[in-house]
A and B are shown apart, each in its own frame.
Chain A
Amino acid sequence: EVQLLESGGGLVQPGGSLRLSCAASGFTFSSYAMTWVRQAPGKGLEWVSAISGSGGSTYYADSVKGRFTTSRDNSKNTLFLQMNSLRAEDTAVYYCAKYQGGSYPADTFDIWGQGTRVSVSS
């Protein structure tokens, strides 16, 4: 069964850092680009970042560029999101998702994790 499991969320003060992880199973992880999408409380979905299957190419939303870094360890089937200089407006549930595989960086997200909650507050 194809599965994604996020972890690493929590409460952090403004200006702090947090590292999210997404463990993948049930598919050839290195063959697929991956993405992070977030959802602020009571709000819609916002695309955050994308990374190619090899990890050699990344894209970011302007709202996180320069503060967030997406990486992956294909030997451990794990995706990461390093979040620095966190702001109150970064408070959200963060989902990792798998690209369907048609193209990169623009594509469909066919498998989603259950999400991990990040709260930025003093």
Chain B
Amino acid sequence: DIQMTQSPSSLSASVGDRVTITCRASQSINNYLNWYQQKPGKAPKLLIYGASSLQSGVPSRFSGSGSETDFTLTISSLQPEDFATYYCQQSYSTPLTFGGGTKVEI
């Protein structure tokens, strides 16, 4: 199974900050890496797919980069509605696996 490791597990930031979350795969997954946002009590929402493609309707302050084993989600200017937990997921092979999550707090 491919293990996905996110860091940090949590972070504190302020509105307007630039935030970076990293995700590392235990083996190469090319660019088969997706990012989801989850707010408390809500379903996850797709933000980025294919490592760097922005899902329709997602604000352009979100961006993704990376390939092979190392990936990054960047929020260029944190907004109040961005405080949530973020998960990476590999879509390279089954079993499909998620990172442990990064909670972005005020």
A residues neighboring B (CB under 8 Å):
35, 37, 44-47, 50, 59, 61-62, 95, 100, 102-103, 105-110, 112-115
Contacts and interface: CB of A to CB of B under 8 A. Distances in A.
A47 B95 contact: yes
23 contacts: A44-B87, A44-B100, A45-B38, A45-B87, A45-B89, A47-B96, A50-B94, A61-B95, A95-B44, A100-B46, A100-B49, A106-B32, A106-B90, A106-B91, A106-B94, A108-B89, A109-B34, A109-B44, A109-B46, A110-B55, A112-B44, A112-B45, A114-B42
Contacts, number: 62
Interface residues of B, number: 26
Contacts of B92: 106
A47 B46 contact: no
B71 interface: no
For chain A, what secondary structure do more than half of its interface residues adopt (helix, strand, loop), or is it mixed?
A: loop
A44 B46 contact: no
Can you list the 4 inter-chain pairs with the closest CB atoms, starting with the nearest?
A: A112-B43, A47-B96, A108-B49, A45-B98
